[in-house]
Structure 1
Amino acid sequence: MDFFALLGTVISLYYLLKLADFVWFYFLRPSDGYKKYQRGPQSYALITGSTDGIGKSLAKDLYRKGFNVIVHGRDEKKLKATVDEIKALREDGIVESFIADVTSSSIDYADIAKRFDDLNITLLINNVGGTYLESKRFEEWSENDHLSVIRWNALFPTLLTRAFLPSLRKTSLSHPVLIVFNGSFSAEFAIPRIPLYTASKAFVHRLPSSLSADERFIAGQSNIEFMYLHTGSVQSNTITEPADFSRPTSDDYAAHIVKAFGSGREEVVPYIGHRIGLTIIHSLPSFILRGALKGEANKLFIMEAKKSKKE
């Protein structure tokens, strides 16, 4: 076999394995991997940013599946309404909650963790994230606005995870624990008008794998797993365009996230439409990609302007 024939065989095998992995993950893999983190009736899932959108859908889905849940928000009235809505889904569950403004510099993370120290938390889902949408140049934003976006997307999940890790490590002595970070496609592309959001999400993209490597370097083997979610467009309070194959509803996307739990992967694209979209985006020439990203940025600001008019 000459060199080029061997090279062709190796390349063909590589893509066949990629295709087989794609088919396995999205069509053949069991959908109940979440049960790995559900040990008994007292297993808790903590989900940040869970009074709206993906976070709320995750809390409801996990609660239906038998987890007790801890929900988080920054508006007391909205948080109470969310707790009541989730409790109505089944009679034998427990719903806890806590309030924290993720853009604040004065959050007592240790106090939050201490509140729930005696609970059997097996899922910690860092879902909260977002940015301000205003037509300003980078330097026109105040220093506090810049810091708020960084706290919102990068510092809050980092410091909350840090506060809960000692307790989660104790829990992991008896059964697996999963710590999840919800990311964004924007972590991989330079989207105009939201530079600090994209940069903060890029930080979050690297954090789970780095934490996983550190955990295993120190502990050797560990029952704490880390996962990063590559998240594309999802219909929610922020993105109000109609749902389609490329844009699932929050409920549909949450179901795909839960299905990805227990896969043993540190990075996943939970939704097949996002996976296909991401592959296409990565194949685009840079000049076409820049134009597409500019169009996406414009749509975000148009939607925000329409939303503001309604309010």
Structure 2
Amino acid sequence: MFCTLSTFLVSIGFYALASYLYEQLRTPYKLIKIRYFSDNRPTLKERYGDWAAVTGASDGIGKEYAKELARQKINVVLIARSEEKLQAVAKEIAEIGTGTQTKIVIADFTKGSQVYEHIEKETADIPISILVNNVGSGTPSPILKWTQEATQNIIDTNVVAVSQLSRLFFQRMKASKIKGAIVNVSSGTEMQPLPYGAYYAASKAYTRSLTLALCHEAKPFGIHVQLLSPNFVVTKINSYSRQIMKGGLFIPSASTYAKSAVDQLRDGVDETPGYFWHHIQNAVGTAFTWRVRTLAAYKIFSKISDKPKKN
């Protein structure tokens, strides 16, 4: 009896370890295999095509991702609500010197369904083969301090936008037989509830579920779907914390992060934090249960903001 119980417990332990290792190593394994043991690593342009659309392209990861796409000779549709900032990004892309084209589309994702009609109309004649759903918002704050308007805005920006644009461009790529890519930018907060950042983390959990389901639906049509889930990056969305904005080994600049993330899109991985040291962070973090991670998040985010919180 004791021997049977011991065998059963060992089997459970082996299964749990094997599951953990699979989840942590599947993406690094694919990256190593493609980069070091493949004779033919296609360029981003060869793999997906030469036009991309990036939402939230006026700042942070979106801006740097667009610039990195341009360095790889991909033309870019820049989508955000500030025309002045987008013009500045377009100028920076022109100065890269790869001869890529840019188009600016002004879109405020808090304005309802008309924004998607506007985007569809403005991009109708462009064979977009890479969509980067990057737009997002969120600042640590207890739910009690959120207003009705701010709550609706974060849902419109973080949940509705990724849903509508994923649907729209999936349909367009399928109809045009474009074997392109849809990249949905989520967050490491997707893996557990986040006290004092509840709406943001919940929206990213939604993005995770949507994207991993879409990955299976799009694959038969040759469309690659990637869930990109960064941890902390030095961007404006994290400006509530001076400590984060200092950066460091585990907190890269937006340009460093974008270069790594675009390289991983080129390699065709489907689920990734996008950055080597974030892989390491996740491997350590997910060794603990989600309840432990939630408690840790509660302790951290109840103290992390060192600026007045704004909704």
TM-score in terms of structure 1 length: 0.82
Find out whether 1:24 has 2:29 as its counterpart. yes
For 2:24 and 2:85, the matched residues in 1 are separated by: 44
Would the alpha carbon gap of residues 142 and 194 (structure 1) be closer, same or farther in structure 2, given more than 3 Å must change?
same
Map 1:145-294 → 2, pairs under 5 A: 145-171=150-176, 173=177, 175-215=178-218, 221-239=220-238, 240-284=244-288, 289-294=293-298
Match of 1:89 among 93, 96, 106: 96
For 1:117 and 1:224, the matched residues in 2 are separated by: 19
- Displacement of 1:17 in angstroms is 6.7
Would the alpha carbon gap of residues 168 and 34 (structure 1) be closer, same or farther in structure 2, given more than 3 Å must change?
same
Q: Give the partner amino acid of 1:105.
A: G
Gaps of 5+ in 1: none
Map 1:40-59 → 2, pairs under 5 A: 43-59=50-66
- Kindly tell me the number of residue pairs found equivalent between the two proteins: 294
Would the alpha carbon gap of residues 34 and 112 (structure 1) be closer, same or farther in structure 2, given more than 3 Å must change?
same
What are the Cα deviations for residues 125-151 of structure 1, in whole angstroms up to 9, with x where unaligned?
0011121445xx424422222111111
1:74 matched residue in structure 2? 81
CA RMSD of aligned residues (A): 3.1
Gaps of 5+ in 2: 36-40, 239-243
Cα contact 1:55–1:128 (8 A) shared by 2? yes
Find out whether 1:141 has 2:146 as its counterpart. yes
Would the alpha carbon gap of residues 125 and 287 (structure 1) be closer, same or farther in structure 2, given more than 3 Å must change?
closer
Would the alpha carbon gap of residues 13 and 38 (structure 1) be closer, same or farther in structure 2, given more than 3 Å must change?
closer
Q: Give the partner amino acid of 1:236.
A: T
Would the alpha carbon gap of residues 299 and 69 (structure 1) be closer, same or farther in structure 2, given more than 3 Å must change?
farther
Cα contact 1:181–1:208 (8 A) shared by 2? yes
1:34 matched residue in structure 2? 44
Would the alpha carbon gap of residues 141 and 14 (structure 1) be closer, same or farther in structure 2, given more than 3 Å must change?
closer
- Displacement of 1:112 in angstroms is 1.2
Q: Percent same amino acid at aligned positions? A: 24
Cα contact 1:49–1:128 (8 A) shared by 2? yes
For 2:170 and 2:291, the matched residues in 1 are separated by: 43
For 1:206 and 1:130, the matched residues in 2 are separated by: 19
2:138 matched residue in structure 1? 131
Would the alpha carbon gap of residues 23 and 148 (structure 1) be closer, same or farther in structure 2, given more than 3 Å must change?
closer
Would the alpha carbon gap of residues 8 and 184 (structure 1) be closer, same or farther in structure 2, given more than 3 Å must change?
closer
Cα contact 1:229–1:267 (8 A) shared by 2? yes
Would the alpha carbon gap of residues 10 and 187 (structure 1) be closer, same or farther in structure 2, given more than 3 Å must change?
closer
- Displacement of 1:152 in angstroms is 1.1
- Displacement of 1:292 in angstroms is 2.7
For 2:211 and 2:261, the matched residues in 1 are separated by: 16
- Displacement of 1:95 in angstroms is 0.7
For 2:208 and 2:20, the matched residues in 1 are separated by: 25
What are the Cα deviations for residues 74-109 of structure 1, in whole angstroms up to 9, with x where unaligned?
112112111111111115211111111122225331
Cα contact 1:37–1:123 (8 A) shared by 2? no
What are the Cα deviations for residues 17-67 of structure 1, in whole angstroms up to 9, with x where unaligned?
77874653454532756244344xxx1111110111111110001101100
Would the alpha carbon gap of residues 60 and 234 (structure 1) be closer, same or farther in structure 2, given more than 3 Å must change?
same
